[in-house]
Structure 1
Amino acid sequence: MSWKRGAYPEFTLEDVIATIFLLREPIGRKAIAETLDIGEGSVRTLLKKLNWIDVIDSAQRGHFLSKTGKKLLERLKGLFSEAHFVGKVDGMPAYAIVVKNPPQFKSIELRDEAIRFFAKGAMILIVKNGEPVFPEDERPLRDTMEELAMNIEEVLNFSDGDLIVVTWAENPSDAMKSAYHVALTLKNDEIPEELKSLVR
């Protein structure tokens, strides 16, 4: 495919993943660009590549997932959830994501990954007895941040053993994409190759 010979794309795998979740409903290029805080030209290239691998269809009301795209989304949802806005932490927008069947991890390394990807801070939680707790001492999140715990329970579906990543940043797109980044770090080996190929 010809794009591989061109310049390095101006979007990341995190942008690709976020876009696939956004495309469940028809959405226009401008709305994607605003949500991800990337240029419309980059979004155009991204959508073109998704079209090349038969992941999206387009109509007057916007772009949306094709049959192949919907299957791909289901595969991704088996690995991790969509990143959801869960309020503010330290006065900044925060997003949370559920990672299913997480491999062995070190919380500090995952927090560092989030910060490397433009988050100002991150919190790694595990689900025990139906609620998010800190893995270090199994202290429930609601003991220290009740509102955040309630917001997480409202927007995310999780089960015992799942990992929950909460990231916050000065702007929503950085918070959202840093949450996806941690999920991708944990599930890198299981991400479909055709998606990884879009950013090489």
Structure 2
Amino acid sequence: MSWKRGAYPEFTLEDAVAVLFMLQNPTGRKAISEALNLGEGSVRTLLRKLGNIEAISSAQRGHSLNRRGMELLEGISRHFSEARRIGKIEGHPAFALTVREPGEFKSIELRDEAIRFFAKGAMILVVKEGEPVFPEDGRPLSETMPELAERVKEAFRLEDGELVVITWAEKEADAMKSAYHVALSLKGEVLPEEIKSLVR
């Protein structure tokens, strides 16, 4: 048996980013553990590290971002949004987020990234005239999946040129984290240094 296993945090940068978005409201350790499908020990370690960089306050009702934490979250939010639940695709929970100024990208590579991160599937769309469209042929999502297109438009204030990342997976946590994974594969370089330090 490996006695060292406990020494290594079992969480990823995707978990750290998800927790920052979650802690906009006071949240308990158990709720974080369930939402991210993480062990309580890993959640404890992650919260301790967030405490070490003075990003959170802890109270009876749970943990929440303090002013420093909100500044860090704003630094992330300038590049991509919170992942939001947008119903189901192929019977699986689906999440979406938007990425600002995505730069050059290949849809197929981003889809592969999501699937490598436990997604069952992913869609990469670009916003044109307020509509999410498939970049390969400019076809609006509303043509093939009108309900999904509506849910995306309800969840986000879409701005032209943004990327919309939609991912789905067997587990909610995997659907959410694979969306963050795609955002981080595009924007990981520009994350605040303190956030990157959480997983070192």
On whether the aligned pair clears a TM of 0.5, the verdict is yes
2:66 aligned with 1:66: yes
- Provide the C-alpha distance between the structure 1 equivalents of 2:75 and 2:194, rounded to a whole number of angstroms: 13
Deviation of the 1:8 alpha carbon: 3.0
- In structure 2, the partner of 1:29 is 29
- Provide the C-alpha distance between the structure 2 equivalents of 1:123 and 1:92, rounded to a whole number of angstroms: 14
2:146 aligned with 1:146: yes
Aligned-residue CA RMSD (Å): 0.9
- Provide the C-alpha distance between the structure 1 equivalents of 2:7 and 2:196, rounded to a whole number of angstroms: 16
- Provide the C-alpha distance between the structure 2 equivalents of 1:157 and 1:175, rounded to a whole number of angstroms: 21
- In structure 2, the partner of 1:3 is none
Deviation of the 1:7 alpha carbon: 3.4
- Provide the C-alpha distance between the structure 2 equivalents of 1:23 and 1:112, rounded to a whole number of angstroms: 29
Helix, strand or coil at the partner of 1:199: coil
Q: What are structure 1's unaligned runs of at least 5 residues? A: 1-5
- Provide the C-alpha distance between the structure 2 equivalents of 1:38 and 1:189, rounded to a whole number of angstroms: 25
Counting aligned pairs with the same residue, the percent is 65
- In structure 1, the partner of 2:12 is 12
- Provide the C-alpha distance between the structure 2 equivalents of 1:8 and 1:194, rounded to a whole number of angstroms: 18
Q: Report if aligned partners of 1:8, 1:199 keep a CA contact under 8 Å in 2.
A: no
Normalised by the size of structure 1, how large is the TM-score? 0.96
Normalised by the size of structure 2, how large is the TM-score? 0.96
- In structure 1, the partner of 2:137 is 137
- In structure 2, the partner of 1:123 is 123
Alignment of 1:37-186 (within 5 A): 37-186=37-186
Deviation of the 1:69 alpha carbon: 0.2
How many residues end up aligned between the 2 structures? Answer: 195
Task: Return the letter of the residue paired with 1:183.
Answer: A
> Which 4+ runs in 1 deviate beyond 2 A?
none
Helix, strand or coil at the partner of 2:94: strand
